[in-house]
Structure 1
Amino acid sequence: MKTDTILITGALGQIGSELAEKLKTIYGKNNVIISDIRDPKDVNYDGIYEVIDVLDVERIKEVIHKHNVKTVYHLAALLSGTAEKNPMFGWKLNMDTLLTFLELAKDKIIDKIFWPSSIGVFGPDTPKDNTPQNPIQTPSTVYGISKLSGEYWCKWYQQNHNVDVRSVRFPGLISWKTPAGGGTTDYAVDIYYKAIENKKYTCFLEENTYLPMLYMDDAIDAILKLMATDNNELNEFKSYNLGGLSFSPKELSIEIKKHIPEFEISYETDFRQAIADSWPSSIDDTEAKTDWGFEPKNSIEKMTEIMLTNLKIKLNK
Structure 2
Amino acid sequence: MSEKILVIGANGQIGTELVNALRDKYGAEEVIASDINSPIYAIRHSGPFEFVNVLDKDNLHHIFTKHQPTQVYLLAAILSAVGEQKPKMAWDLNMTGLIQILDYAVEFGVKKVFWPSSIAVFGPHSPQENTPQYCVMDPNTVYGFSKLAGERWCEYYYEKHGLDVRSLRYPGLIGWRANPGGGTTDYAVHIFHEALKKGSYQSFLSANTALPMMYMDDAIRATITLMDTPAEQITIRSSYNLAGISFTPAQLAEEIKKLIPNFEISYAEHDPRQAIADSWPKSIDDSYAQKDWGWKLEYDLKTMTEDMLKNLKNVILA
Residues 184, 272 of structure 1: 8 Å contact kept = yes
Q: TM-score, normalised by structure 1?
A: 0.97
For 1:75 and 1:54, how far apart are their aligned partners in 2? 10
| Structure 2 match to 1:126 | 126
Q: Quick check: 1:310 aligned with 2:314?
A: no
After the TM superposition, which residues 11-160 of structure 1 pair with which residues of structure 2 at under 5 Å, given as runs? Answer: 11-39=10-38, 44-160=44-160
For 1:212 and 1:199, how far apart are their aligned partners in 2? 25
Identity, % of aligned positions: 50
For 2:22 and 2:191, how far apart are their aligned partners in 1? 29
For 1:274 and 1:174, how far apart are their aligned partners in 2? 21
- Partner SS state of residue 59, structure 1: helix
For 1:205 and 1:231, how far apart are their aligned partners in 2? 40
For 1:299 and 1:57, how far apart are their aligned partners in 2? 42
| Structure 2 match to 1:188 | 188
Residue type matched to 1:24 in 2? R
For 1:44 and 1:96, how far apart are their aligned partners in 2? 26
| Structure 1 match to 2:301 | 300
- Partner SS state of residue 60, structure 1: helix
Quote how far apart the aligned CAs of 1:41 are: 8.9
Quote how far apart the aligned CAs of 1:60 are: 1.2
Tell me which moved more, 237-246 or 31-40. Answer: 31-40
Question: Deviation string for 1:259-286 (max 9, x for gaps)?
Answer: 1111110000400000000000000000
Q: TM-score, normalised by structure 2?
A: 0.97
Residues 3, 68 of structure 1: 8 Å contact kept = no
For 1:275 and 1:292, how far apart are their aligned partners in 2? 31
Question: Deviation string for 1:155-184 (max 9, x for gaps)?
Answer: 111111111100010000000111121000
Residues 68, 108 of structure 2: 8 Å contact kept = no
For 1:56 and 1:41, how far apart are their aligned partners in 2? 23
Quote how far apart the aligned CAs of 1:68 are: 2.0
Residues 207, 267 of structure 2: 8 Å contact kept = yes
Residues 64, 104 of structure 2: 8 Å contact kept = no
After the TM superposition, which residues 231-250 of structure 1 pair with which residues of structure 2 at under 5 Å, given as runs? Answer: 231-250=231-250
- Partner SS state of residue 296, structure 2: coil
Residues 90, 142 of structure 2: 8 Å contact kept = yes
For 1:4 and 1:215, how far apart are their aligned partners in 2? 27
Quote how far apart the aligned CAs of 1:40 are: 6.5
For 1:166 and 1:180, how far apart are their aligned partners in 2? 23
- Change in 2 beyond 3 A, CA 1:69/1:49: same
Tell me which moved more, 276-285 or 107-116. Answer: 107-116
For 1:153 and 1:127, how far apart are their aligned partners in 2? 24
Residues 3, 26 of structure 2: 8 Å contact kept = no
| Structure 2 match to 1:227 | 227
- Partner SS state of residue 307, structure 2: helix
Question: Deviation string for 1:112-157 (max 9, x for gaps)?
Answer: 1000000000000000000000110000000001000000011111
For 1:168 and 1:48, how far apart are their aligned partners in 2? 26
**Residues matched between the structures, number:** 316
Tell me which moved more, 147-156 or 37-46. Answer: 37-46
Q: Gaps spanning 5+ residues in structure 1: where? A: none
For 2:137 and 2:39, how far apart are their aligned partners in 1? 40
| Structure 1 match to 2:276 | 275
Residue type matched to 1:10 in 2? G
Residues 90, 142 of structure 1: 8 Å contact kept = yes
Residue type matched to 1:13 in 2? G
- Partner SS state of residue 312, structure 2: helix
For 1:25 and 1:178, how far apart are their aligned partners in 2? 18
Residue type matched to 1:54 in 2? V
Residue type matched to 1:202 in 2? Q
For 1:16 and 1:45, how far apart are their aligned partners in 2? 15
Residues 210, 248 of structure 2: 8 Å contact kept = yes
- Partner SS state of residue 69, structure 1: coil
Residues 40, 51 of structure 1: 8 Å contact kept = no
Residue type matched to 2:221 in 1? D
Residue type matched to 1:263 in 2? F
